[in-house]
A = this chain, B = another copy of it.
Amino acid sequence: MAEILDFTRTPEPPEPLWREALGRKLRETREERGDRLVDVADRAGISVQYLSEIERGRKEPSSEMIAAVAGALGVDLADLLIGIAGQVRNLRASGYLKAGNQFHTSRPTGRPSGPVAMAWAA
């Protein structure tokens, strides 16, 4: 694992990468459910440290992994994607890698900001 963080490698525009946005949303979803890494990892049938790396956007999970984790979180792919799209929008709108790159900035003072997807009940 060389240096995924090393974004000097590619002169990519400040667009967040897929795995980063995905990981961020997965973590958010898990925390909203009050689950721990080990819970989700167990249900998804993957190792805990790998799930940690996925959530931090450091590894590129396969489609089957994504499906497994999403299933373990009780969300389907479409909802997940919409949620991620909202994340990306927010990151673009706000700074995103302007400086320290501190996500979760706009913790919902009340406004749900993005599409936010559909609630998953209670």
Q: Which residues of A contact B (CB under 8 A)?
A: 10, 12-13, 15-21, 60, 62-64, 66-68, 71, 76-79, 81-82, 84-86, 88-89, 92, 115, 118
A81 proximity list for chain B (CB < 8 A): 81-82, 84-85, 88
Residue from B15, B19, B66, B77 within 8 A of A88 (CB atoms): B77
Contact A92-B63, Cβ < 8 Å, known A85-B85, A115-B118, A118-B115: no
A115, closest chain B residue (CB)? B118
- Report whether over half of chain A's contact residues are helix, strand or loop; otherwise say mixed: helix
Q: Report yes or no: B64 in contact with A17, Cβ–Cβ below 8 A.
A: yes
Question: Shortest Cβ distance from A16 into chain B, in angstroms?
Answer: 7
**A82-B82, A85-B78 known; A66 and B118 CB under 8 Å?**
no
